[in-house]
Amino acid sequence: MGHLRSLFLGLAMAVGAAAPALAQGAMRDRLVVISSTSAGTVARMIGASFAERYEGALEPTRRGLPTTAALELFCAGIGPQTPDIAITVRRMPRTMLETCQGHGVREVVEMRLGLSAVLLAVRRGEPTPNLTSRQVWEALAAERIDDEEFVPNRRAMWSDVAPSLPRTEIHVLAPNLGTGTNGLFEDMVLEGGCRDVKAIRLLFEAAYRRGKCITARDDGRIQRMGGLEVPAALLAAPPGTIGVISFDQLLASGGNLVALSLDGVLPTQASIYAQDYVATRTVYLYAKRQHTRMQEGVGVVRGIREFLNEAASEAASGPGGYLSVTGLVPLGPGERAAQRRTAERLTLISR
């Protein structure tokens, strides 16, 4: 409870500083959008396009948090000191929806924006080892397990991880920390790969377990750079180098980059859409209809419907839309049309 209170107070201070009150009953002059860390780039791009597309709209105030904390803050209550919109890579569980309702957030709109996937790739013509999430974690984690003790990870070759893997040096190009693609890689590959490690499961604190899972080595085996730079750098990298990229970047390479299978599944449009590929998540958007400012002056802020219309537009989340650079895989045509109807009508969640 203290953790949520500190988040709430921090957001209230940010909103108060960024959004002075307007005349005629308006409580804020801009939207407040929170996002899970790995959906931060999606939130930023929608916010920028929304401000550009709609006359008089200001770019929303944004804040990134871990998914659970973002949903908790969204559900903390109604009013100008609380967020209007949350964008996450996890669906709001029923228990959280009940928490929302208990705090007066009774009119929640839920939309699906698309599917987010991160993958490992090599240059065309390079060996394509069949990796597991566990092997990737064992190769890239800052620490390895030795007799149930954590020691620095000094593995130099993929064959040091498993004899069946190539005898090539571990060298990975990855997006900078804090980016959406890297966040998904941490959540779905590194944390997924260490989840069943006995020494990790024995750790009492969840935050400490996560730290052991996602803290990557910094001894030069992983080279960090802007996410958009990874494909070109991979094409020029030494043989055996593996890159962490989005599915859209794979398609944009024109066949020059080849994806590796992970846990026995090759990332394709079909396997991502079916969510058979392990490093896949649905990106969700939640909005408070109670915050919508009507012409009579009731509500908190203008622009919620317009923001949702922008997020659901073909220009954003359709095939070739600007969100594709974040690795977003579009929903099917019928599902995209359903999300546009939800945005236009502000249809409330029903489950």
pLDDT tens, position by position, 154-192: 999 999 999 999 999 999 999 988 776 788 899 889 999
Beta bridge partners of 146: 149
Joined together, the tokens standing for residue 222 give: 């992983």
Tokens 């871990």, located at residue: 66
User: Comparing 33-37, 76-80, 340-344, which segment has the lowest mean pLDDT?
Assistant: 33-37
Question: Which residue pairs, CB below 8 angstroms and at least 24 apart, start in 199-203?
Answer: 199/145, 199/148, 199/149, 199/150, 202/148
Q: Under CATH, which number does the domain 117-273 receive?
A: 3.40.190.10
End-to-end CA distance of the chain: 26
Q: How confident is the model at residue 227 (pLDDT cuts 50, 70, 90)?
A: confident
Kindly report the average pLDDT of the chain as a whole number: 88
Q: How confident is the model at residue 223 (pLDDT cuts 50, 70, 90)?
A: very high
Query: At 284, is the secondary structure helix, strand, or coil?
Result: strand
From 274, 222, 226, select the one nearest 249 (Cα to Cα). 226
Beta bridge partners of 328: 116
Query: At 154, is the secondary structure helix, strand, or coil?
Result: coil
Q: Which H/E stretch holds residue 117?
A: strand 108-123
Q: Note whether 2-115+281-345 and 117-273 share their fold.
A: yes
Q: What pTM was computed for the model?
A: 0.70
Homologous superfamily, domain 2-115+281-345: Periplasmic binding protein-like II (3.40.190.10)
Instruction: Compute the distance between CA of residue 7 and CA of residue 10 in angstroms, rounded to an integer.
Output: 5
Instruction: Compute the distance between CA of residue 214 and CA of residue 262 in angstroms, rounded to an integer.
Output: 17
pLDDT of res. 40: 85
Beta bridge partners of 282: 115
Calculate the alpha carbon distances from 278 to 66, 98, 251, 331 in Å.
20, 29, 19, 17
The domains of the chain are located at: 2-115+281-345, 117-273
Q: Which H/E stretch holds residue 95?
A: helix 94-102
CB atoms within 10 A of CB 171: 18
CB atoms within 10 A of CB 43: 27
Give the β-pairing of 222-225 and 61-65.
unpaired
pLDDT of res. 296: 52
